[in-house]
Amino acid sequence: MPLTIRQWGTALSLTLGLLLPAIALAEKLTVERLFSDPSILGKAPSSLKISPDGSRVTFLRGKDEDYLQQDLWSYELASGETSMLVDSRALYSGDENLSDEEKARRERQRIQGQGIVEYHWSEDGQALVFPVNGDLYYYDLKAEPGQATRRLTQTEAFETDVKFSPGGNYISFVRDQNLYVIDLATGTEKAMTLDGGGLIKNGMAEFVAQEEMNRFTGYWWAGDDSHIAFARVDESPVGIEQRYEIDAESFSVFEQRYPRTGTPNVKITLGVVEVGSGKTSWLDLGAEEDIYLVRVDWLRDSKTVAIQRMDRSQRQLDLLFSSIETGDSRKVLSETSDTWINLHDNLHFLEHSDHFIWSSERSGYNHLYLYDLEGTLQRPLTAGEWVVAELKGVDEEGGLVYFDGFATSTFEKHLYSVPLSGESPGEVRKITSREGWHNVKMAGDYKNFVDSFSTIHSPSQVSLNDSDGTFVTWLEENRLDESHPYHPYMDSHSTPEFGRIPAVDGQMLDYMIIKPVGFDPQKRYPVVLAPYGGPHGHMVTKSWGSGWHQVLAGEGYVVFVMDNRGSDHRGKAFEDVIYRQMGEVEIIDQMSGVEYLKQLPYVDPEKIGIFGWSYGGYMALMAQFKNPELIRAAVAVAPVTQWELYDTFYTERYLDRPQDNPEGYLASSVFPYIEQQANPLLVIHGMADDNVLFLNSTKLFKTLQDKVIPFEMMTYPGGKHGIRGKETRKHLFNTVLNFLDRNLKNPAMD
């Protein structure tokens, strides 16, 4: 018998009576839990590698009681067994005492952990090497149980950037700004360079190479173990910035060589040292000294070095082949642009033919091309209005090129293959099938791959798959069952929703919305915009999202994230709109997002705020200063405020040098718009930030004070750009949450 209207109402009331308390009682994620142990991400491993012999997969994993303390683990493919290879605390149990150079290197690489933070395989798959607290350790898989780990160095100095030589005869590293090798047959240690120290750094990547070029090494082995190419960096031309390192026990002033935009860079030369004799020769980088050494590789003959040289304007990238016998170099190909050239790691020399693979954005989208060793283009391998991200490997025997990219969606990253020979361009095949974000490591024989994968419904899961994408087994399923640390928060988890809105020029902008926990479409909610907004940013993805966003949703906020023009993986024209003026198009697009939000019935248009870090912090300032009628509260963490204060490589790529584009620099600064500032503002900065210097915020503080404009601030003594540390992060994000609650939930605003 059908229910009457009255009965329907009674049933609905009973249902709501049951549901609403459940929602109210659902455990919400808090800032305290977000930065406590065990990690809410579960046991998701990092630094995944397949051993060269294909017998096992190794990875790093944090301890349950301290997710930042990482150990080395192994999964054996034959047995399916997972075991810890090295307990980091068994090697060093105290607080790490990192050198200044190592602190800076980890900051550049965004390494938050401690213990074992990196490791490297020998080419035969029988040994690993890794640093712990500045000393090197060797792990022998053939050794008897309990005897596998041995210490290679025990010095006061720090050994960094450790590598096996390709032939497995040596281990190399940098110590005190010089390059060293250890002969594994004899145990003898030998310095390959001697003049490092002070302003001279041998075998090391300079600041902008690490921070902006994604190059973290300064030396490269020849395939036959005979020679090492190394960068010699002379920092003497670079200006000095004073930086204050303050913590609870000490105060220090550091003089940092920091290349501000428009000022001199380091002087860099490229040497080749013969390992046996220690004799060094120098390669020809060209007559122009004001260049960037962006990539170095060896050809398979071990007699020729491939050098990627970029001019200061970053509008020309040359690939040079340099003979180690003569030092002479020849230009093989050049890439040019009217704006800038994006760097890549997609150079690959084929083993069985005199060809190489290269990637280029010459078509407007990054794609793969096949060249011969004379630099003659043979054919494009991929084409279309989509972007190749990274070359994953070339199976010459199988005739397939593997890469990841965005052929099917900008919301998802997948693994693809394309034929090495045949039609040009070849037919692209998608290998990974599950919707989401795939980070893949191919085996050396290309028979299988490891897939670290997440979706909007699941944190990172790691699986082993055949090369055609067929699932083989889980390495870490990381299921959200009752044993998972995030399970208590699943009932209050808010799944993001995705869409697109048009920019003013008609291009479509990707966005995602995270609605408040217990969302009621009849209510109106405050909004927090959470942009990055800068070049190479790609925030709107169908991957497991930010725990911070879930905290905000649990506190009753709508979270809105949008990739404005200037973001990554949408083609070069989509990026190029920011050329010679930053903070204009990006803000226009974000305000288009605000106008869209204001049309939604559940959004309170009078309570829209913004939170951003780094470039996102710059975006937060520009958004509020330019649009105080739309942005009612802003939080800027570690923001650039004036681009003359930032480094050469990044800033000049987009704005040119200050002397060549003074109008663009002025328009891109936050200071011309500061008079319009009238709404609540919180600025946060680490006082030891060596990337976006603390000076950016202190200059802003002084200007606001001089203009009698109220604002709030929080500084973190000893804090770098990432302001790391569990307790520090708890304080920081609680400070942000308190500020947002006071200014976006204040009843006086109603």
Neighbours of 16 (CB within 10 A): 11
For residues 332 and 374, give the distance between their C-alpha atoms in angstroms, rounded to a whole number.
6
Q: Is 91 helix (H, G, I), strand (E, B) or coil?
A: helix
DSSP-derived 3-state class of residue 436: coil
Which of 723, 703, 689 is CA-nearest to residue 258? 689
Confidence of residue 251 (pLDDT cuts 50, 70, 90): confident
| Residue 25: predicted pLDDT | 60
Kind and range of the H or E element at 63?
strand 56-63
Number of domains, the chain: 1
Find tokens 């997969």 and name the residue: 57
How many Å apart are CA 330 and CA 319, to the nearest integer? 8
Please state, in angstroms and rounded to a whole number, the distance separating the CA atoms of residues 383 and 380.
7
Predicted pLDDT at 671: 98
pLDDT tens string 388-425: 999 999 999 999 999 999 999 999 999 999 999 988 89
Q: For residue 266, is pLDDT > 70? A: yes
Distance CA(99)–CA(708), nearest Å, equals 42
417 domain residue, yes or no: no
At residue 573, what are phi and psi to the nearest 5 degrees?
A: -60, -35
Is 651 contained in some domain? yes
Return the pLDDT at 747.
63
The candidate with the shortest Cα–Cα distance to 587, out of 607, 560, 616, 614, is: 616
Evaluate whether residue 639 is within a structural domain. Answer: yes
Q: Which two tokens stand for residue 735?
A: 């400070």
Taking a C-beta distance cutoff of 8 angstroms, is the pair 591, 624 a contact? no
Q: Three-state DSSP class for 347? A: coil
- DSSP type of residue 398: T
CATH code of the domain in which 734 resides:
3.40.50.1820
How long is the chain? 750
pLDDT at 749: 43
The enclosing H or E element of 136 equals strand 135-140
Helical (H) or strand (E) element with 615: helix 615-626
Residue partners of 68: CB distance under 8 A and separation at least 6? 62, 112, 113, 114, 726
Q: Is 2 in a helix, a strand, or coil?
A: coil
Which pLDDT score, from 0 to 100, does residue 97 have?
83
Higher pLDDT, 650 or 22: 650
Say if 555 falls within a structural domain. yes
Encode burial over 290-322: b for 16+ CB neighbours within 10 A, e otherwise.
Answer: ebbbbbbbbbeebebbbbbbbbbebbebbbbbb
Note the pLDDT of residue 96. Answer: 84
Q: Count Cβ atoms below 10 Å from residue 428 Cβ, excluding itself.
A: 20
Residue 109 and residue 647: Cα distance in Å, rounded? Answer: 17
Burial 233-259 (b: 16+ CB within 10 A, else e): bebeebeebebebbeeeeeeeeebbbb
- Establish if 328 belongs to a structural domain: no
Taking the C-alpha atoms of residue 723 and residue 220, their distance in angstroms, rounded to an integer, is 32
- pLDDT score of 229 more than 50: yes
What pLDDT does residue 297 have? 99
CA distance 740 to 607: 10
CB 665 within 8 A of CB 658: yes
What is the Cα 174 distance to its own chain's centre? 24
How far apart CA 175 and CA 268 sit, in angstroms, is 19
Do 635 and 621 contact (CB within 8 A), yes or no? no
- pLDDT bin (cut points 50, 70, 90) of residue 6 is very low
| Helix, strand, or coil (residue 164) | strand
Q: What is the Cβ-side half-sphere exposure of residue 254, based on CA atoms within 13 angstroms?
A: 18
Whether residue 158 is contained in a domain is answered as no
Confirm if 435 and 442 have CB atoms less than 8 A apart: no
Averaged pLDDT for residues 665-693: 96
Q: What is the mean pLDDT of the chain?
A: 94
Mean pLDDT of 502-513: 98
**Nearest Cα to Cα of residue 130 among 140, 122, 120:** 120
Domain span at residue 569? Answer: 487-749
pTM listed for this prediction:
0.94
Structure tokens at 231: 């960068």
Q: pLDDT tens-digit profile of 711-741?
A: 999 999 999 999 999 999 999 999 999 999 9
Looking only at the bridges linking them, the beta strands covering 633-637 and 603-613 are parallel
Return the active site residues: 614, 689, 721
- pLDDT computed for residue 8 by the predictor: 35
The answer on pLDDT for 605 being more than 80 is yes
Helix then strand count (H, E) for the chain reads 13, 44
Q: What gap in Å lies between CA 254 and CA 245, rounded to an integer?
A: 7
**Position 3 confidence tier, pLDDT thresholds 50, 70, 90:** very low
Q: Would you call the peptide bond into 38 cis, given omega within 30 degrees of 0 as the criterion? A: yes
In a domain, 494, yes or no: yes
Letter for the amino acid at 428? V
Beta partners for residue 429, in sequence order: 417
Q: Which residues pair with 240 in a beta bridge?
A: 257
CA–CA dist 190, 180 (Å, integer): 6
DSSP bridge partners of 608: 527
Question: Taking the alpha carbons of 546, 550, 556, 561 in that order, is the dihedral positive or negative?
Answer: positive
- Please give the Cα distance from 20 to 547 (Å, whole number): 24
The angle subtended at Cα 65 by Cα 59 and Cα 67, nearest 5°, is 40
pLDDT at position 239 is 97
Mean pLDDT of 124-153: 95
Q: What integer is the mean pLDDT of 559-583?
A: 98
| Structure confidence at residue 5 as a pLDDT band (50, 70, 90) | very low
Binning pLDDT at 50, 70 and 90, where does residue 4 land? very low
Q: What is the pLDDT of residue 21?
A: 46
Start-end of H helices in 373-495: none
Q: What percent of the chain has pLDDT over 90?
A: 90
d(CA 183, CA 161): 17
Is the residue at 196 inside a domain?
no
Residue 457 DSSP label = S
pLDDT band of residue 750 (cuts 50, 70, 90) is very low
The amino acid sitting at 215 is: R
Distance CA 61, CA 640 (A): 34
Q: Region of 472 please: left (phi>0), alpha (psi -120 to 50) or beta.
A: alpha
Structure tokens at 683: 């600025």
> Is pLDDT of 184 > 50?
yes
Q: pLDDT band for position 250 (50/70/90)?
A: confident
Three-class DSSP category at 442: strand
Res 746: pLDDT: 62
Local structure of 380: helix, strand or coil = strand
Q: How far apart are CA 433 and CA 416, in angstroms?
A: 10
Spatial separation of the C-alpha atoms in residues 178 and 160, rounded to whole Å: 10
Paired with 647 in beta bridges are 260
What pLDDT, on the 0 to 100 scale, is given for residue 695? 96
Cα 176 to Cα 150: distance, rounded to the nearest angstrom: 22
Structure tokens at 572: 């070069």
Cα–Cα distance, 347 to 302 (Å, whole number): 16
User: Of all helices (H) and strands (E), which one includes residue 611?
Assistant: strand 603-613
pLDDT over 70, % of the chain: 96
Containing 536, the helix (H) or strand (E) segment is: none
